[in-house]
Amino acid sequence: MEAKTMSKTWFITGTSKGFGREWAEAALERGDRVAAAARDLSGLRSLTERFGDAVLPLRLDVTDRDAVFAAVRQAAGHFGTLDVVANNAGYGHFGMVEELTEAEIRAEMETNFFGTLWVTQAVLPVLRAQGHGRIIQVTSEGGVRAFPGIGGYHASKWAVEGLSESLRQEVAPFGIDVICLEPGPYSTDFGGASVRASAEHPDYAGVRAAGAIEWDLGDPKATRGPILELADTDDPPARIFFGKSFEPVAAEYEERLATWRKWQPVALAAFG
């Protein structure tokens, strides 16, 4: 696959750990420049020590729209260009739909969906003006399928997927690519400090037990080469899984197609 190999400037959110940290290091190690955004800059100290002026640490809470726009202006002004934007900041929330409080679901959407939207809106004027750019929206396998007990997280990621489908068509004439990156389960901090949970309702104990899954976790370091390929390729995909998600997701989509086909007579009857 032919790829663009010139040095690039990245804007990556959630760089203090997990995917964001791996991708920032991968880009910097090959000579790219990175605007590394994180809520806590202490985790970025080693990057600045190793890579110096090639990394611009930015303290950023993506739920603060004004702060997002200011950070993007700072990054673009500092480096002069933004080539690859990775909307990676986010967290998981465990809880049955009935268990979600208003504060919990609003917080989940504020970070995972609105945070992605604010960064996207902030970078678009820069990318349009320069006539090129690539936005990598980190959704999830959970942005195209769903499991019990994480409905709030799924809602946020499905929302990003829908937003990005429209966005891709809107910005293609300006030379901007949009990729929905849909990782499966990985041994990141998603199951650790980056996860939150609702108070459990006892009536759902059986559902919780029946829905328990033993995840086969991927190695985040293994995503370094693939993320660079996504940044460089001349033929970027509209969406791509990272990990072993294809087979189970394909089976679910075959089931959806079968259901739609079965009920097509009813659908057509409803047309009039």
Residues carrying an active site annotation: 153
Contact by Cβ (8 Å): 84, 127: no
Amino acid at 208: R
In degrees, rounded to 5, the angle at the alpha carbon of residue 16 between the alpha carbons of residues 15 and 19 is: 55
Q: How far apart are the first and last CA of the chain?
A: 49
For the CA atoms of 256, 94, 68, 43, the dihedral, rounded to the nearest 10 degrees, stands at: -120
Instruction: Give the whole-angstrom CA distance, residue 33 versus residue 8.
Output: 6
Instruction: Give the whole-angstrom CA distance, residue 131 versus residue 95.
Output: 43
Tell me the chain's radius of gyration from C-alpha atoms: 20
DSSP class of residue 158 equals H
- A 10 A CB-CB count for 68 gives 25
